[in-house]
Chains A and B, each alone.
Chain A
């Protein structure tokens, strides 16, 4: 039944699909063929011939324009570029300075971090008060000591006077 149904069907080539198939198959072939061709010396040399002719024209054109613009009172492309170059070099200088400052700040940070147990302000005030009290105590002790030394020194000086003979007698 199926075969009969198939045989009774009308078959025709789809021109759209055929064209699409031929075109895209061909494109692959052209791609490959041209890729091979561009790798040849013949292609490279012919392209260079065109390029060098163009460069000659470009050089002539550029020299001519340069000569005209040098005499012109208006700023040329080169003049504008010169200003832009100055701006960029200034930017580079600032940039280098920024990096330099950042490096110095980093090393400063590292040094500060290496100082351990940095005392607080309250801590410092407490310590100064302690020192002041200590100095007061020391002052009082020293005064007392001085007094004792003076009292001890008086009788010994009197005894020394008694024991020492007159200068003429000793001769």
Chain B
């Protein structure tokens, strides 16, 4: 093991030459590292061909253009969280869930929330479910010419899909896919300690901030792994350059990780108080516009995907869906990745995307039927 730190040469001169060359390589790597951090333009992301099917406020409903013949009648709607941006689902060609599903013959749609501003500070989960997700789902079904739809919800997007699924019957929700979506908020790791601490008062935060700034949201996520996020990200880039690996993937990932959005204050209050602090979702105590969210009412086929190294939505938080949701067809799959690893990286591309597509294929009508 320790042998790789030794240099063995025929003469001291050769050793000197090797050291000089390594020193020069390191200097070049470091110069390139600084160049990437300081000057390099951000790479393009979310480049799959699409049209805007519907827009409301800052949100947009994208319809992805087919790259192959459409095989499945049931369309797929992707719903992302209110933290960071949804182009992580269509990160870069060759590593994009959207691109994969379109190639497999699915009619794919994505609801992009846009960037919330001061006038959106009063938006609540009721608004998101009733005024955004429900109309989007109707438009997806109408455009696809189908009475049924499938929803893939990532992280908080999965939780929001659950709220929708419990309250709306039309269009029929045939399949529900969770990607690291928290359903049970008990034992939520570091968040459990932070958000239940006596000094942490969401009302006080919202009263003072109204619109929660993106920097605050970003800090909350990054502090879950401070060394990894504040230092490791940059040393990893240096290592990538020094070992002559492709830096493109680091760039797209870093672009997404630092591209956060503001969070509406009213929704933040609900998210912390009702979900994290009181765990109301699994207790069927969430009420949206006078209608109670009851998880047993959700009869859709369920696929729950988790990363075993996820420290944002812990595996058991998603696995709880198998206990609380009402359908009969439930599948649970684990992968040795973190929170982002379900949609980013080689394991996502080689295992997660094919698993999702295959599971949906067994549960979606063909176009000829």
Residue ranges of A at the interface with B (Cβ–Cβ < 8 Å): 6, 8-18, 20-21, 23-24, 27, 30-31, 34-35, 38-41, 43-45, 47-49, 51-52, 55-56, 58-59, 62, 77-78, 80-82, 84-85, 88, 91-92, 95, 99, 102
Contacts and interface: CB of A to CB of B under 8 A. Distances in A.
Contact of B6 (A12, A31, A59): A12
Nearest to A60: B208
Given A24-B235, A27-B232, A44 B197 contact: yes
Tell me what chain A mostly uses at the interface: helix, strand, loop, or mixed.
Answer: helix
Given A47-B194, A52-B204, A81-B118, A9 B226 contact: no
Interface string B304-331: 0000000100000000000000000000
A2 B365 CA distance: 68
A49 B190 CA distance: 17
A64 to B, nearest CB: 13
A10 B4 contact: no
| Those 7 A-B pairs whose CB atoms lie nearest each other, nearest first | A48-B199, A84-B119, A81-B119, A44-B197, A31-B227, A55-B208, A58-B208
A21 B5 contact: yes
B10 A10 contact: yes
Contact of B193 (A16, A39, A58, A102): A39
Nearest to A48: B199
Nearest to B139: A99
A10 B15 contact: yes
Contact of A41 (B19, B117, B197, B207): B197
Nearest to B134: A99
B209 interface: yes
Contacts of B38: none
A16 B205 contact: no
Nearest to B4: A17
Given A39-B189, A95-B56, A95-B135, A14 B6 contact: yes
Contacts of A95: 56, 131, 135
B193 A44 contact: yes
